[in-house]
Amino acid sequence: MNKPIFSDESLKQVVDMDRSHVWHHLVQHKPMQEGAPMVIVEGEGLRVRDTNGKEYIDAVSGGVWTVNVGYGRESIANAVRDQLAQMCYFSNSAGNIPGAKFADRLIEKMPGLSRVYFSTSGSEGNEKGFKLVRQLAAKENGGKKHKIIYRDRDYHGTTITNLSACGQHQRKDQYGPFTPGFVEFPHCLAYHHDRGDDPDFGVIAARELEKVILREGPDSVGAVILEPITAGGGVITPPDGYFDTIQEICTKYGVLIHIDEVVCGMGRTGKWFGYQHYNVKPDIVVMAKGVASGYAAIACTVTTEELFAKFLADSSDTMQYFRDISTFGGCAGGPAAALENVRIIEEENLLDNVVEMGDYLLGLLHELKEKYPMVGDVRGKGLFAGAELVADRKSRTPVDEIVMNRIVADCLEQGVMIGRTNRSFQHYNNTICLSPALICTRDDLDQIVGSIDSALSRIQLQ
């Protein structure tokens, strides 16, 4: 990493300004006001440094699985700089050069899909999907097929409507009343299901969707939204046969499949998109976070040509096309960064690295499970892994949140930033989450899992 370009004095002022005026995301402020907030100054590869000059290895790609190609990528910064100097912004009612090129590159990687709608965040991208479903219901189905089914434990964004589609109950608590027309169906986490050991569990779990469609009435249900692998809900990989059955049910009842790739997309799981591991044909796919690895804000809502064609109304009809806008969806720096991001993933063969390092990471976590009874379950795909901690293996009772806090703090002390499920479910915020950048090496993973090992050994001794 370069030598810090800021003086100690100016960094101290920054910390004071932050403490006085910045309202941070997701964290409790009281402890932060008493201590000093962490302010990250610089990053390179997998490592970041704070205002005290302390270096950390970041096992969660910017805290929330975003910086897929790692920090300090000058070529992305240059691509954004060049684009901004040439043409920074024009509303996406017109096109721009990187937008057209990136849409073309993306569609190459998503057989069966053909249209890309640009916006700025995962929440916004998912909201576009919901609006498409609602408008189709209004214009094609006399208001029927407007309901959207979501799954327990999944998360799709922070707005009130995204929270209406949120299966993480602690996250939505106190923010209601919610948007009507969203209905939940049960999760597919075998570890916490009384039929989780059944070889047909994938089919059993997916059939829960059919039960809800039948209960609500198939003519009222327009879409189901699913994360291919649930992220913040505990890194839940779908059981065998799950998506085959989801596809069969959706085809049978004319229900659109909306896949939320905000975390899994752009190589995180070893394929370009998480859904591509499974036998499913989405109608809508939403991606954000890793699309430009955090170097610019960009989200894409991608659809089939068939769905797009339903909005190709006769131009004399001024109401039947998709009347949506995202001001900053017209920022040309986003697709410029995304194009360079894709080039890096391809040139450095990062998908292969994800598969190889992902297997290594899961192996290390399984070794921890052998060593510590507290590690109840290990799950994941590619560089996207979770270890669920339990107080008792037999009953699978989660560890107390204080234990989770101690482990995260211990790793931080050792210079390793790990993630955990956070404010998702009362009593079930007990999964350690790891999602290092796609460039990580065995040594990086040894350091990350080694720190968890040391933290667990200290907890055991207490």
Ligand X SMILES: Cc1ncc(COP(=O)(O)O)c(C=O)c1O
Q: How far apart are CA 410 and CA 268, in angstroms?
A: 26
Q: Which residue, 145 or 277, has its beta carbon nearer to ligand X?
A: 277
When asked if residue 235 is in the footprint of ligand X (CB under 6 A), the reply is no
Distances from the Cα of 232 to the Cα of 34, 140, 430, angstroms: 28, 35, 11
Q: Which of 254, 246, 226, 252 is nearest to 145 (CA)?
A: 254
Q: How many residues lie near ligand X (CB under 6 A)?
A: 16
Distances from the Cα of 462 to the Cα of 403, 406, 455, 456, 459, angstroms: 11, 11, 11, 10, 5
When asked if residue 288 is in the footprint of ligand X (CB under 6 A), the reply is yes
Report 241-280 residues binding ligand X (CB under 6 A): 260, 262-263
3-state SS string for 214-243: HHHCHHHEEEEEECCCECCCCCECCCCCHH
When asked if residue 424 is in the footprint of ligand X (CB under 6 A), the reply is no
Give the nearest distance from C-beta 263 to ligand X in angstroms: 5
> What is the pattern of x (binds ligand X, CB under 6 A) and - over residues 322-361?
----------------------------------------
Residue entry with tokens 């039960």: 211
Q: How far apart are CA 461 and CA 458, in angstroms?
A: 5
Give the nearest distance from C-beta 85 to ligand X in angstroms: 27
Report 90-129 residues binding ligand X (CB under 6 A): 121-123, 126
Q: Which residue, 157 or 234, has its beta carbon nearer to ligand X?
A: 157
Select from 70, 157, 239, 358 the one that contacts ligand X (CB under 6 A). Answer: 157
Q: Which of 420, 443, 264, 436 is nearest to 358 (CA)?
A: 436
Q: Which residue, 120 or 430, has its beta carbon nearer to ligand X?
A: 120
Q: How far apart are CA 115 and CA 134, in angstroms?
A: 18
| Pair 331, 84: CB distance under 8 Å | no
Q: Which residue, 280 or 364, has its beta carbon nearer to ligand X?
A: 280
Give the nearest distance from C-beta 64 to ligand X in angstroms: 5
Cis ω before 177 (30° cut-off from 0):
yes
> What is the pattern of x (binds ligand X, CB under 6 A) and - over residues 30-69?
----------------------------------x-----
Report 202-231 residues binding ligand X (CB under 6 A): 227, 231
Q: How far is Cα of residue 126 from the mean position of the Cα atoms in its chain?
A: 12
Give the nearest distance from C-beta 146 to ligand X in angstroms: 21
Contact footprint for ligand X (CB under 6 A): 64, 121-123, 126, 155-158, 227, 231-232, 260, 262-263, 288
